[in-house]
Amino acid sequence: MIIRYAFDYDGGGAGKGGTSRLFVNGKQVASGRIPATVPLGFSGDETLDVGEDTGTPTGDYQLPFRFAGDLKKVTVTIANE
């Protein structure tokens, strides 16, 4: 399974919104409008975690919050499309 997320930024400066799209195996399965983004940088305790959130929690749960399943492969690509 290949999951891809795309965010089409409106542009025009920091904090503007855009359109969010989610794809599964190349097929768009969801989309939505994000009216605004965070107009500043992130704190030093933010991390790019896969299967476990070791930085600031993204929801109401205690850290560490580990995924108990198996991840066969994770590829993160950041690109301007």
Confidence of residue 75 (pLDDT cuts 50, 70, 90): confident
- Are residues 43 and 57 in contact, defined by beta-carbon separation less than 8 angstroms? no
Domain extents in the chain: 3-34
Where are any strands of DSSP class E within 1-81? 3-9, 18-24, 27-34, 52-53, 65-66
* Angle 13-19-22 from CA coordinates, rounded to 5°: 135
More confident of the two residues 63 and 9: 9
List pLDDT tens digits, range 5-49: 999 999 988 899 999 999 999 999 999 999 999 887 766 666 667
Whole-model pTM above 0.85? no
